[in-house]
Amino acid sequence: MAQPLIEAERLKLVDALADGAWHSGEDLAAVAGITRAGLAKRVEKLRDWGLEVEARQGLGYRLPQPLERLQRQLIDAPLRFDILTATDSTNTRLLDSDPAQDPQALLAEYQTAGRGRRGREWRSPFAANMYLSLAWSFPAWPPSLSALPLVVGVLCAQALREQGAAGVGLKWPNDLYAQGRKLGGILIEHRGEAGGNCRVVIGIGINVAMSAAQAEGLTQPWISLTEISAAPPARNRLAAALLRRLADGIAHFESLGFEAFASEWAALDLANGRPVRVLQGEREYEGIGRGVDAQGALIVEALGQYQTLHSGEISLRLA
């Protein structure tokens, strides 16, 4: 499908600035065949995508750091996938897609309505992070479907470790953490009827190289891969690693259930044996995390009793 002209124009400018070096406004305008005023308008369009574009008289324009766009030919994946420049939400797009094409994945450079658990906003500046969704159809409801967020967390942590990220852990039920700050999140939405087939759309957001300016207004402590990786993270390699891990891992989950991933989850579980705070409706209390059960439910020891809690019921805070 041909790109809208305005999108193609923006992408050419993104690519011209992608090295992070200063570029003369005169040269950029000449290459694009537009006036300097026209170039300034295109730069503003890039800022609409959440890109930081610095402008300085005598130097021109630059991005504060190099940028890597996603490219199909650089992503070796064992399933069908597509890449969008901009969309409202990759999860929304896949929920509306044809289940006959499953498993299928969708990646985007920019989201206007990215969302996390409980409808929270997921900040999605252009090419700063990883925005990926995977649609998977099961012929019947898996008996441990409630544990799927935990399985996906394990698979993401494995892919990140493979790409050189250090110290990644998991906060029940669906958050990736490093150094006590949020690195990524998982949102799973499903459709189907009890006793019939089941279709899930798995949304994954991972902070790759998001800057403080792009994250302005976020109240939760966060971290990017650039802070925990020995080398600058390559988004195309990360996308390929995630898709490979997900394709293989969810197939194993379909046949073997959560049991096949329980030990890896336990090794990454940041709440196990540690103080936690549980928010359950109007009720709030403290306890000690004691792992999860066979269905992925959280076990908390509080006031001398063990309680089993499900993700739809509570929010968990690490002490």
- For the annotated catalytic residues, the residue numbers are 117, 182, 317
Which two three-digit tokens encode residue 7? Answer: 């999108």
Integer CA distances (angstroms), 100 to 42, 95, 104, in order: 39, 12, 9
Which two three-digit tokens encode residue 37? Answer: 């005023």
For 36, other C-beta atoms within 10 Å of its C-beta total 11
Integer CA distances (angstroms), 47 to 13, 127, 174, 217, 220, in order: 12, 12, 30, 17, 23
Residue entry with tokens 């906060």: 171
Buried b (16+ CB within 10 A) or exposed e, 102-141: bbbbbbbbbbeebbbbeeeebbbbbbbbbbbbbbbbbeee
Contact at 8 Å (CB) between 93 and 133? yes
Spatial neighbors of 98 by CB under 8 A, at least 6 apart, are none
Cα–Cα distance between 181 and 96 in angstroms, integer?
A: 33
Residue type, 227: E
Alpha carbon distance, N-terminus to C-terminus of the chain: 49
- Facing residues of 182 across strands? 177, 222
Cα–Cα distance between 236 and 240 in angstroms, integer?
A: 6
